[in-house]
Every structure is written in structure tokens, then in C-alpha cells.
């Protein structure tokens, strides 16, 4: 059950569409062509004031498995309306940062301040140069001829650039703001996966000495060998690789808490147990911890019925008993993807060291949910257990459902603004605080 503390009302539900194929190859051969593409005008999006209220998913109020039917309702994605409106808290504005991309997914910041975005369907990473809140130059940074194969997560460490393909982590020398060559494969990964579980993320530890890589499951809820459904850790050259944490069905967003250095992840939980199960979540990822998938969910006593014997006991009681309860539960099927702690200094104090999460949205719920950005407050280095809406308005009709935006990746820019990708209409939006 979803509870709003101030009014006790049920939170609004938002919907999404399914992702199109992401396998078309790119045709560029160098990491920097000679000509840039057209600039993006800084067009403001009309906004209305959002008055966010705390939302908490109560474990005690969750339904039983299959209490409701499992729906299949992929939404219709429509073009951007003629006069679009987004809702954000008072004092925030939204503008188009970039457009004309090809299903932009993940974001990272280059050492020189440029933005890198993965256009996975093209097997391309694009460099975006920007000023005054909008992109003025767009160039390929890496392509299929550099060895990209469904690229997603990206990170820098020392004088190297790393990208997580669906089946490998590649390392490139980085100099003069560019890379060259096909890259060195430092780690092989199991490729593809259930539904959208082809994504692989990679982040650098706060001390710059290790890489953390997320790998989703191949199935919805089958038993699978490691490294599926886990976070792996390794040295910068790929050596000393091991499982850091497991039982994470599809961990996508990875980021380190700037206050404590602890790793956090957004996780997409399992399907086909009804509308209300299983909540996606944000959690601190502890070394050697097990988070339940596929045998249990959220607590040791919540057993997945697909892994229960005739006597009612788990097929793996040893692992079910180790199940960790996540820090923050999200509405089931929200598809929590992008994760960024706010490290800027221009947003109001309440957002400092809290985390933003992008909800790509549901495809298998009778009334769609997601399609928004949310904010997760922290206190003393840990989440408070609740979250609140931060940016809404993409959903036009939750019953159909119909939407004009699908948030995926998040990034905090050096000027303190927050940008996010919208794979539905091939844009990146920028949110800034003006106080007006």
C-alpha cells in the first residue's frame, strides 16, 4: 500500500511504453568527426507548481502474490504536445537541453565538462558540448567501430574511459578529450537478458581504484548462476573480479553516497505476481549481502511462490533467510532506472546529498505507474524510507495509458542543474532552480 503522510491519499499512477529494438549498428569509424551537428535552442517548457508529499510503501500493507491479475498494458507513446506542461516544485524551471537524439539512455560527465550520452540503438556514444543550459555542438565520441555493442554505463578513472557493453567492459585511453581504437576488453559479461535486462552499468569507486558493474537477470524469476542478478567489483584492469552483492534482479542505477561513500542501487523487481508486487527499490548495496531474488522478496518470509515446495518451504531456505530488506520501496513496476545523488549547490538545502531517481514506468500494470522523477531524502547518511515526486506531467492518460516522455538517465552538471534523458521523444531535459 502506498501512503502519503500529509493527506493519506493514494499517490497518482503513471504509465509507460515498451522499448523498441536497440540493435541497429552505428556507421561512424572515428571518435571525433570534423563537423558538429546543429545546436539545440534553449526552449523553456511551461511548468506548473508541484506540491510534493512524502510517499512510503508499507511492507505490512503489500498484497499477497497474485491477489490481482497480471496485466499487459504497454502504453502508447505520443509526440511532444504542442504546448507541453511539466510539474515541478516551486522555484524550478525546465528547458530542452538537447533533442534529435536516438533513444538516449545513460549520461556521464567528461573531465572537461562535456556530456556523454549513450544512443544504444545506434551503438554510439555522443559528446554534447553545452553552454547557457543547452547543447551547441554534438559529435560522435565512440561508435560500433570502436567496439560498442549495446553500450550503457560509462565512467572515467585516471587516464582511461570505461564503457559497459551488454557483454563486456571496455577500457580506452583518454587524452585530449577523446578516445581512440577499439578498446581493451577487461571483463567479459553475460550479454542480453529478460525484457530490458541487457543494460550493464559501470561506476568508479570514490577512491578511484575499483570498478563496480551491475548485471541483470536473464529471466523474470528463474534460478540463474552468478554473475547474473548481481553487482561485480574489480580492479581498474579487470583483475581480482568478484561478486560484491547478489540477489538483485535487475540493478541499473549505481551511485555512491557523497556523505558516506556507500554504494547505492536502483533495482527493478520481478513481474507476474499482480499489480502490487513486487516493489522496485533503492538500497544501499553492502558487500556479500543477498537481496532475495529469485527465492524471496523484500524480507526472508516473503517467498516467491514459483520457488516454494509442496510443504510451503523455500527451495533454497538458506538463501531466502539471508534476504535483506531494501531501504526505500517504490510503487511496483515503476521501472526505477537512473540514480544520482545531488552534489550541486544551487538546489535548496533539502536536496543536498539526497538522491534523484528516474522512473521509466510500467508495462504490466492495470493502471500505469512511473514516468516521472522522484526525490529520496536522506538523514545521517541513510534514506528516510520515503520518497516524493519531483517532476511529473508526461502521463496524459493513466488508464490507456498514454505518455509523451520516458525518463531514464540522470546527471548533475557543474552548474548545479539536473539533466535527464527521455527516450520516448529523443530529448534531454534540464531542471534548474531559479527561486522564482
Cβ pair 111, 208 in contact under 8 A: no
Tell me the pLDDT tens digit for each residue of 123-147: 999 999 999 999 999 999 999 999 9
Does residue 36 surpass a pLDDT of 60?
A: no
DSSP string, 70-108: PP--PPEE-PPPSS-EEEE-TTEEEEEEE-S-SSEEEEE
Cβ distance 103 to 20 under 8 Å?
yes
Confidence of residue 11 (pLDDT cuts 50, 70, 90): very low
**What pLDDT, on the 0 to 100 scale, is given for residue 41?**
63
Residue 366 has a pLDDT of 85
Partners of 314 in beta bridges: 308
Q: Residue 137: enclosing H or E segment and its boundaries? A: strand 134-142
Rounded to an integer, the average pLDDT of 147-152 is 98
DSSP bridge partners of 432? 93
pLDDT of residue 367 exceeding 50: yes
| Sequence ranges of the domains in the chain | 2-291+326-433
Query: Which pLDDT belongs to residue 183?
Result: 94
Q: Each residue of 193-214: pLDDT tens digit?
A: 776 789 999 999 999 999 999 9
Q: Who contacts 326 (Cβ-Cβ below 8 Å, separation ≥6)? A: 267, 281, 282, 283, 291, 298
Please state the rounded mean pLDDT for residues 60-64.
97
Residue 124's SS3 state is: strand
Amino acid 71: pLDDT: 82
What's the pLDDT score for residue 32?
40
Angstrom distance (rounded) from CA 343 to CA 351? 9
CB within 8 Å of 133: residues ≥ 6 apart: 42, 95, 97, 417, 430, 432
pLDDT tens across 385-431, in order?
999 999 999 999 999 889 999 999 999 999 999 999 999 999 999 99
Average pLDDT over residues 306-332: 98
- In the predicted model, what is the mean pLDDT of the chain? 91
> CATH assignment of 2-291+326-433, given 3.40.50.150, 2.120.10.30, 3.40.710.10, 3.40.1180.10?
2.120.10.30
Q: How far apart are CA 348 and CA 350, in angstroms?
A: 6
Q: What is the dihedral of CA 343, 344, 348, 349, to 10 degrees?
A: 40
pTM, to two decimals: 0.91
b/e per residue, 399-429, with b = 16+ CB within 10 A? eebbbbbbbbbbbbbeeebbbbbbbbbbbbb
pLDDT classification of 362: cutoffs 50, 70, 90:
confident
Amino acid at each position: 500500500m502506498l501512503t502519503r503522510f500529509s493527506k493519506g491519499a493514494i499517490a497518482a499512477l503513471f504509465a509507460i511504453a515498451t522499448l523498441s529494438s536497440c540493435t541497429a549498428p552505428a556507421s561512424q569509424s572515428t571518435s571525433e568527426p570534423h563537423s558538429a551537428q546543429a545546436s539545440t535552442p534553449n526552449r523553456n517548457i511551461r511548468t506548473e507548481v508541484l506540491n510534493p508529499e512524502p510517499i512510503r510503501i508499507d511492507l505490512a500493507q503489500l498484497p499477497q502474490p497474485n491477489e490481482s491479475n497480471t496485466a499487459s498494458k504497454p502504453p502508447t507513446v505520443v509526440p511532444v504536445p504542442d504546448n507541453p506542461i511539466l510539474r515541478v516544485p516551486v522555484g524550478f524551471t525546465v528547458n530542452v537541453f538537447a533533442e534529435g537524439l536516438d533513444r538516449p539512455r545513460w549520461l556521464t560527465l567528461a573531465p572537461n565538462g562535456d556530456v556523454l550520452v549513450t544512443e544504444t540503438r545506434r551503438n554510439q556514444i555522443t559528446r554534447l558540448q553545452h553552454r547557457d543550459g543547452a547543447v551547441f555542438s554534438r559529435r560522435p565520441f565512440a561508435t560500433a567501430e570502436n567496439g560498442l555493442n549495446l553500450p550503457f554505463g560509462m565512467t572515467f578513472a585516471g587516464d582511461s574511459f570505461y564503457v559497459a557493453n551488454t557483454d563486456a567492459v571496455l577500457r580506452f585511453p583518454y587524452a585530449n578529450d577523446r578516445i581512440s581504437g577499439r578498446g581493451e576488453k577487461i571483463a567479459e559479461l553475460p550479454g542480453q537478458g529478460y525484457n530490458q535486462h541487457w543494460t550493464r552499468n559501470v561506476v568508479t569507486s570514490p577512491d578511484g581504484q575499483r570498478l563496480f558493474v551491475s548485471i541483470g537477470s536473464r529471466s523474470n524469476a528463474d534460478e540463474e548462476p552468478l554473475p547474473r542478478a548481481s553487482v561485480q567489483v574489480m580492479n581498474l584492469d579487470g583483475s581480482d573480479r568478484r561478486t560484491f552483492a547478489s540477489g538483485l534482479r535487475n540493478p541499473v542505477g549505481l551511485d555512491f553516497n557523497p556523505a558516506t561513500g556507500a554504494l547505492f542501487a536502483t533495482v527493478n523487481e520481478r513481474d507476474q505476481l499482480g499489480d502490487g508486487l513486487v516493489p522496485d527499490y533503492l538500497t544501499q548495496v553492502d558487500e556479500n549481502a543477498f537481496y532475495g531474488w529469485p527465492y524471496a522478496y523484500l524480507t526472508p518470509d516473503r517467498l516467491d511462490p514459483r520457488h516454494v515446495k509442496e510443504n510451503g518451504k523455500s527451495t533454497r531456505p538458506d538463501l531466502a533467510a539471508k534476504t535483506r530488506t531494501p531501504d526505500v520501496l517504490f510503487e511496483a513496476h515503476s521501472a526505477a532506472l537512473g540514480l544520482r545523488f545531488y552534489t550541486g549547490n544551487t538546489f535548496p538545502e533539502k536536496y543536498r546529498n539526497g538522491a534523484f531517481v528516474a522512473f521509466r514506468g510500467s508495462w504490466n500494470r492495470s493502471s500505469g505507474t512511473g514516468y516521472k522523477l522522484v526525490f529520496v531524502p536522506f538523514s545521517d547518511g541513510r534514506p528516510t524510507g520515503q520518497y516524493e515526486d519531483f517532476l511529473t506531467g508526461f502521463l496524459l492518460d493513466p488508464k490507456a495509458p498514454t505518455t509523451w516522455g520516458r525518463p531514464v538517465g540522470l546527471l548533475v552538471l557543474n552548474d548545479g542543474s539536473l539533466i535527464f534523458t527521455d527516450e520516448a521523444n529523443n530529448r534531454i531535459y534540464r531542471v534548474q532552480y531559479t527561486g522564482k
